[in-house]
Amino acid sequence: MKLNTRLHGRIRYQTWVRVIPKAGAGLLSHIEDISTAGLGLEHDQPMATDIECHVYFMLPLYGTEHIVQARCRIAGCRPTETPGRYHLGLAFIDFVSDPRATSELIDAFVDHLNATQSDPPAQAS
């Protein structure tokens, strides 16, 4: 049995994300969950783990769309219950956008959704 040993709570949130690895083809997918430490997404193509990539996505908070740019490490890739689909776990290394402000933005976004979200995941418009 594998225990969930995450230090940072994740919240379900769905929005578009662009993933650009240092080598190989990038992908456009949906974020499935997010925390201050990283994000999870699902896609139909597996990716090698322990490689760096850049991600771009938007977070709406307080009536403003914030563009987040980050350098990540692909921490995990595993098949989902749906054949031909893979869950990718990405760990933030640093933020290309203002590092402190971006980290605080993600914190505020997660806190805001925790306070307002029921069972269905939030959807970006």
Q: Which tokens go with 50?
A: 């322990």
How much is the pLDDT for 119? 47
Span 52-68, pLDDT tens digits: 999 999 988 888 898 99
Average pLDDT, the chain: 84
> How buried is 102 (Cβ within 10 angstroms: 0-12 exposed, 13-18 middle, 19+ buried)?
buried
Residue 117: predicted pLDDT:
67
Q: Is the pTM of this model over 0.85?
A: no
Set out the domains of the chain in order of their start, with CATH numbers: 11-117 (2.40.10.220)
